[in-house]
Structure 1
């Protein structure tokens, strides 16, 4: 890793993600971690000149659904780990993400201000971390990891990826507490899930006034709510309450998709995690009962997300991988290529992600005023998405915040 006050990437073949094409050679100038100029001016004015030799330069990638502290797929086990051990394991996960070209990730439960700050200050190496803190769950919801025989009283303190609350006052208090600690958004568990022991995929979770309370608290601090949701029934409830981001959504229908378009909401499919959980979930820590839920959502997801894309729902790149399965992060590209073109997938991991994050102009494109998050690819990913799927072979340079983490040009 090197830090330079003034850098120029010379003869960069810039990928304009808005136009969806390579726009030709230019010089990209970086100062104090920001892009300050994209032009043909003399590169020798910079203190460090890196000759890209005509290779593709594109924005660093964004993953809108990760769990950087989930070094195991067994959330009950995760709750018993020491915080120091969890952070150490998270460091390995984060560095892996950056090595694949991801420079911004949105953590949907588990990461906190400490991990985000450690990355910002260079004590952990990884992408920029946007976090919700702990996901908000009801008793018996997707964040409640107690088994049927566990009679101990769930407290409202935080364990693992989530915190358990019931009733409007507790929801408000939990949301305010996460926002107090710097959360970039609020995440609620609004339906059943695969990795929780006592609910079903078809469950709806939280009453409407509880969901509305979470939305009100997020909007009061000028941010938004993301909701873990699988079914159409659950999705309609949260969208009507003002939730902005639907996570997973494998079982939504046309009515929900139309509602999402009407409200400008985002869909974050996490197709890779369902694919990999099917083959590796038991080895990764899922119980047999949890693993049996996976089949409910895998095949439906292919049909649903293809339909959502065709209708014009805003799809954002997300993976939601757990434990050793994080290594499959780039699998999402090939899965989505069955119904999206390469540039559409790239936009989902750049421009559309930036829109969801409320970071348009700062991440997801190479323009003056944006963070200097850049990757250099030996090939044209607009022609073939394979160039983003083999970083050891094709990913030649990684820059985040103007710091160079890999240079193999």
Structure 2
């Protein structure tokens, strides 16, 4: 569809400036912006002074996580899991997220189906299965289970691989299937049954091998890590993106800057897990671990902001808690300015996923993924926390909501 948005207030996240004018889309791309643009045969939508900004990016989702009981996913029918994923992605699009980066679980099938229009949802950047050591954050066996079933036809978030040769093979296999990035579990976590949050996972040689394989394919590695010990180790070995990072220290901040790496905090998931996790399937043993990271998240974000770390929007929600995806805007507002938060969900996120100039911007030539917003998000970023404020959601130049 060719589309012209008239009388818009255009928000450029890169400059933080508003300009008044029109925006024209053709063949799924932004063609031009400016006053009084010719419409030709395009559909014209008069937005009457509403803010037009790039569609949002959530850089840490799990679109296959229809429950917080992650250990139950491998026994779920693949077709059942796929239909749940399509529903979850459709809901994300209607919250304004036009691109999402999956942090384990999604595969090329979901990405291809969305791209082909078989269902409506955000553009999907996937990593396949996260790589985990035995007993690591991606190993969801309880102590009495001996066999780990990570058959590719089963739903699930992780695959277990131990040793340098095995992790090389696992990384190459995910890259073979089209992974946009590789995810590794570099520390313990909340939702895994047998590890401690303060553990480090994988040896330096194993992590280094995974980074080498990703870089050889012109891809990068994202690492689940909480403590400063785990984060600093991962950054020093070439990890590009740290997921969570709730317990970082000043040395972490230095390493982020030295290695030009990104931090993807996920504050809303701990808030949601504490309040609703058990209701949506989180085992009691995992729920008890939430307090270990809940209170530290804002302090870590403040430390990173103060130190000039590049910060990206992420949520990491599971099961019925996906509906809180936009609440992350409110939580971060306690530490970051509205413009910083908007950039984390647009232009800085685009840098992380190597799509600068393609998404997260209003530059001509970029994908015409847009939000038409009632309210001023630069004055109150909470406007973006309420999807009811999105008059229109536009994907590839087509109005898909509103």
**TM-score band (shorter)?**
over 0.9
Q: Deviations over 1:183-217 (max 9, x none)?
A: 10000001000000000001111011110111011
Residue 262 of structure 1 corresponds to 258
Please show how residues 2-401 of structure 1 align to structure 2 within 5 Å.
4=1, 6-23=2-19, 25-152=20-147, 154=148, 157-158=151-152, 159=154, 160-392=156-388, 394-401=389-396
- Distance in 2, matches of 1:151 and 1:223, equals 33
Q: Give the whole-Å Cα distance in 2 for the aligned partners of 1:44 and 1:282.
A: 53
CA-CA distance at 1:401 after TM superposition: 1.3
Q: Is the contact between residue 187 and residue 225 of structure 1 (CA under 8 Å) also seen in structure 2?
A: yes
Q: Shift of residue 151 of structure 1?
A: 2.0
Superposed CA offset, 1:268-309 (max 9, x none)? 000000111011111111111111110000111111111111
Distance 2:185 2:39 in 1: 53
Instruction: Write the distance in 1 (CA, Å) between the matches of 2:263 and 2:230.
Output: 14
Q: CA deviation at 1:41?
A: 4.3
8 Å contact 1:139–1:166 — kept in the other structure? yes
Give TM-score scaled by structure 2 length.
Answer: 0.98
8 Å contact from structure 2 (residues 74, 149) kept in 1: no
Distance of 1:155 and 1:272 partners within structure 2 = 30
2:379 and 2:17 map into 1 onto residues whose CA distance is 9
36-45 or 232-241, which deviates more: 36-45
1: CA distance, partners of 2:333 / 2:298: 11
Structure 1 pair 156/389, CA: closer, same or farther in 2 (3 Å)? closer
CA distance, structure 1, for counterparts of residue 162 and residue 130 of structure 2: 13
CA contact (8 A) 2:188 2:199 kept: yes
Query: What is the CA–CA distance in structure 2 between the aligned matches of 1:43 and 1:376, rounded to whole Å?
Result: 20
Q: What is the distance in 2 between the residues matched to 1:232 and 1:389? A: 30
Deviations 1:248-280 (A, max 9, x none): 000111101111111111000000001110111
Aligned-partner Cα distance in 1 for 2:39–2:326: 36
Alpha-carbon contact 1:29-1:46 (below 8 Å) kept? no
8 Å CA contact 1:156, 1:165 repeated in 2: no
Unaligned runs of 5+ in 1: none
RMSD (Å), alpha carbons: 1.1
Q: Is the CA contact 1:8–1:46 (under 8 Å) kept in the aligned structure 2? A: no
The structural deviation recorded for 1:386 is: 2.2
Following the alignment from structure 2 to structure 1, what is the Cα–Cα distance between the partners of residues 203 and 263?
22
Distance 1:273 1:101 in 2: 18
Q: For this pair of structures, how many residues does the alignment match?
A: 400
- Gaps spanning 5+ residues in structure 2: where? none
**C-alpha distance in 1 between matches for 2:336 and 2:36:** 36
CA distance in 2, matches of 1:164, 1:247: 19
Structure 1 length-normalised TM:
0.96
User: SS of the counterpart of 1:343?
Assistant: helix
* Contact 1:43–1:49 (8 Å) recurs in 2: no
